[in-house]
Homo-oligomer: A and B are copies of this chain.
Amino acid sequence: MRISLIGAGNLATRLGIALKAAGHDFVQVYSRTEASAQTLAKMLGAEAVVQADKLHSDASLYICALKDDALPEILKRVDVGNGILVHTAGSLSLDILKPFAAKTGVFYPLQTFSKEREVDFKTVPVFVESSDKIVSYILKQLAVDLGSEVYEITSEQRLKLHLSAIFACNFVNYLYSVSSDLLVENNLPFEVLKPLILETAAKVQTQPPADVQTGPAVRFDRKVMDRHLAQLEKHPAWKTLYKELSVGIYQRSKSTQK
């Protein structure tokens, strides 16, 4: 495929590199940030552009990996010709692309991406949605080229999938940062929690999370919980979170034991 990338952020970077390695050609890379466009274009052997209307209309596939709110504004200025236009967002419907192209699709790789961290796409499930069977075939083939598991789901399912990923990734990372802040306050290095964090993630690879839930909230052990809450006087928001998460754990555990 002759591909143009619209966006040069974390996802665009990792996906671009992986598709290039799988033998695809890149024509152009757009980013409004010149340095980002240049860096990624160079890696992909493509031309960098900083104005969306400088994208040629002869690519066969346009992959748009922009921030959700920037997407309509930028696409307005892009002529994709007869090409397929695809976005990579978890929470945007396929329909949002309708005004900009006849053949549209979604290619949503479910992973957290950083420009600097290598990702093995063989472990990344990809969720596709398409305006028609040809687009569907092409997007599934792209996923196969990457070695990814591929699933066909609707926009509504993808939104719910994205929501569960928010809980399992973004919210989890926030709890890591709370635990790190608590340690720093206490002159202990975050280092000491790292094995626990890895093992907690490793456990649910083989067992359902509700089955391996531990901690004082499972038994709603008030003595321990009160001792913890007393440590959070300076942090009312964390205190509230502590209470609500504990109630959630207790109720979930009761329903599992039933």
Answer yes or no: A209 CB below 8 A from chain B CBs.
yes
Q: Is the CB–CB distance between A171 and B245 below 8 Å?
A: yes
> Is A169 a contact of B198 with CB atoms below 8 Å?
no
Stretch binding the partner chain, chosen from A21-29, A99-107, A117-125: A117-125
Query: Chain A contact residues: over half helix, strand or loop, or mixed?
Result: helix
Could you tell me if A174 and B213 are in contact, using CB atoms closer than 8 angstroms? yes
Q: Is A133's beta carbon under 8 Å from chain B?
A: no
Q: A167 an interface residue at 8 Å Cβ cutoff?
A: yes
Q: How far is the CB of A92 from chain B (nearest CB, A)?
A: 9
A214-B170 in contact given A68-B223, A205-B198 (Cβ < 8 Å): yes
One digit per residue, 1 when the CB lies within 8 angstroms of any chain B CB and 0 when it does not, for chain A 175-213 equals 111111111011110111111111111111100111011
Q: Are B196 and A111 in contact, CB atoms less than 8 angstroms apart?
A: yes
Contact of B186 with A165 in the complex, beta carbons under 8 Å: no
Given A91-B227, A164-B182, 5 more A-B residue pairs with CB atoms under 8 Å apart are A68-B223, A159-B227, A165-B196, A174-B248, A197-B201
CA–CA, A177 and B208, complex, Å: 8
Minimum CB–CB distance from A213 to chain B (whole Å) comes to: 6
Interface residue total, chain A, C-beta cutoff 8 A: 91
Given contacts A188-B153, A210-B180, contact A240 B244 (CB under 8 A): yes
Q: Which residue of B lies closest to A127 (CB)?
A: B192
Chain B residues within an 8 Å CB radius of A69: 221, 223
Task: Name the residue on B nearest A194 (C-beta).
Answer: B205
- By a CB distance below 8 angstroms, the chain B residues around A240 are 244
Chain B residue nearest to A151 (CB atoms) is B192
Residues in B neighbouring A10, C-beta threshold 8 A: 214
